[in-house]
Structure 1
Amino acid sequence: MPHLTKDNLQPLYKARLNYFDFSVDDIGLWVFFAVPDTNNIGVAKASVHVNADTLSTQCIWNITLDHRKFTEMFVAHGVLYAIDDFTENKHKISIAVDLYTDSLLPINMNEFGQFNYVSMATFDFANKQLLVLDKGNRLGFPVSC
């Protein structure tokens, strides 16, 4: 990612365990990162050049969402979804941003499963499911994104 260096990288999300996160949907590969000197989330759409074994950036969005307030994010059909929390009694997706129209979409997805300790979430676009890794178990929940 342009302008990212080891000196200005910030950990992502509430857990602060990683510096980059990845999501794949029917449109492509997406990379999430903390925008330097802000609390914003950066979203880059990457292009994979199979024959050349290279990866390039098509576009980068600087989204004014404080990444530290969210547990996880994923992209489905070009829409960024931010998961507020994933605890035993609390799980909610309250933010959806259409990256191509730069618009906030109305959403309030909550109570879509029982979880203990979720370490990863993504959207399975082929089966239209939210996939989560909960204490090492892969769980799928039908959702409409």
Structure 2
Amino acid sequence: MQDPDPVDPNLEGFIWLTKHFTGKILYEYRNWENFRQDRILKIHDLKEAYFGTGHVAYRGSLYYQRAGYNQIVRYDLAKERVLATVKVRRSLYNGGNNYLYATEYNYYDLAVDENGLWVIYGSSRSRTSMLVSKVNPQDLRLEKTWNVSVDHQSYGNSFIACGVLYLVRNTTSKETLIDFAYDLYKKLPVTVRLKFTNPFQMNNMIAYNPLEKKVYTWDKGNQLTYMLLM
């Protein structure tokens, strides 16, 4: 993870990493070169365990799901402590049949784009409803929620770019498609059919970086970059 808007200039260029799908340890690296060499600058003890691969670093904080709870946590990377938590009501957050995607990696998927911080999750009221909430990055207040009608458990992952939600059909096959998109501000589906590749066939984290206009992924331990034409 890299913070596209670190606020604190001392955190510019830093990289953060979690290992495994749940745990309490966050690894901090000074830059990409140190990350490649696994030269750890700092190890954070998060106190509250995370779950999944949907965390993001944004505006000097790490945002993640508290394992086993319908809560999103804000952990300040400079102060090294939790500053806010929020309950995400009407959400699926535990249990083997309640995952957000076809893969068993996430109940919540946090995202950052040009508009700020988002959380994507499944509705506890309908299996064909994907909920997307705009999140205040300070107090984690859910400012607005969109109900997107789609069978989200038939998709492998998603990301948000320029206010548009994109769903990747499969993350375990080499060749797949982005064949669903929804403009959150216009409240309209977008016709899309884009080729997408998972070279190592286990792509369990997909995130858009609005600063660099790139999509980053973690595909079976390989860090990949997808260039975008904006």
1:18: how far off? 2.3
Decide which moves more: 75-84 or 31-40.
31-40
Instruction: Give the alignment's TM-score, normalised by structure 2.
Output: 0.56
Partner of 2:113: 25
Identity %: 27
Count, aligned residues: 141
User: Mean alpha-carbon deviation: is it higher for 101-110 or for 7-16?
Assistant: 7-16
User: Which residue is equivalent to 1:110?
Assistant: 195
Q: 1:36 to 1:130 in 2, by over 3 A?
A: same
Q: Are the structure 2 counterparts of residues 115 and 109 from structure 1 closer, same or farther at C-alpha, using a change threshold of 3 Å?
A: farther
Matches within 5 A, 1:1-145: 1-4=88-91, 10-39=98-127, 40-49=129-138, 54-112=139-197, 114-144=199-229
Taking structure 1 as the reference length, the TM-score comes to: 0.86
Give the Cα–Cα distance (whole angstroms) in 2 for the partners of residues 7 and 70 of structure 1.
Answer: 18
Shift of 1:15: 1.1
Q: Is the 8 A contact 1:31 1:44 kept in 2?
A: yes
Distance 1:79 1:93 in 2: 12
In structure 1, C-alpha distance between the alignment counterparts of 2:199 and 2:93, rounded to whole Å? 37
1:5 Cα deviation from its structure 2 partner: 7.6
Check the 8 A contact 1:86/1:115 in 2, yes or no: no
Q: Tell me if structure 1 keeps the 8 A contact 2:172–2:198.
A: no
Unaligned 5+ runs, structure 2: 1-87
The gaps in structure 1 that reach 5 residues or longer are: none
Distance, in Å, in 2 between the alignment partners of 1:128 and 1:103 is 23
Could you give the per-residue CA deviations for residues 24-78 of structure 1, whole angstroms, max 9, x where no partner exists? 11111111111112111110110122xxxx2111100111011111100111111
- Render the CA deviation track for 1:74-111: whole Å, top value 9, x for unaligned: 11111000000123432211111000001111211104
* Larger Cα-atom Rg: 2
SS of 1:86 mapped into structure 2:
coil
